[in-house]
Amino acid sequence: QVQLVESGGGLVQPGGSLRLSCAASGSISTIITMGWYRQAPGKQRELVATIRSGGTTNYADSVKGRFTISRDNAKNTVNLQMNSLKPEDTAVYYCKVTTLASTYWGQGTQVTVSS
């Protein structure tokens, strides 16, 4: 089994910053992709950003230039630096890890952007 532990969510004012972290532990085979998704109330879960083992990144258009994803392959962690946050970024953010064996999701962490 693989466990994903997320941290770093919270309440922030518009224009502020937050950093999310996700640590994977357990019986981990080769990790291919790590990423972040989000789900706002009444909406479908959507991709925010992903990063492959070689470092290739992919971002949703809505977060390009504001969010930065990074990973530490040795520690099996993935981070999401979120700057210039907007109210529309409010959602539950989920970490996703894809390995050779399966795909795993974290429990989610709430991000609220409000004045």
Give the span between the Cα atoms of 24 and 19, in whole angstroms.
17
| Alpha carbon distance 93, 72 (integer Å) | 19
The number of angstroms, rounded, from the C-alpha of 13 to the middle of its chain's C-alpha atoms is 19
Q: What's 88's DSSP letter?
A: G
Residue range 24-45, pLDDT digits in tens: 998 777 888 999 999 999 999 9
Q: What is the pLDDT of residues 57-99, one digit of tens each?
A: 999 999 999 999 999 988 999 999 999 999 999 999 999 999 9
Q: Which two tokens stand for residue 67?
A: 């969010």
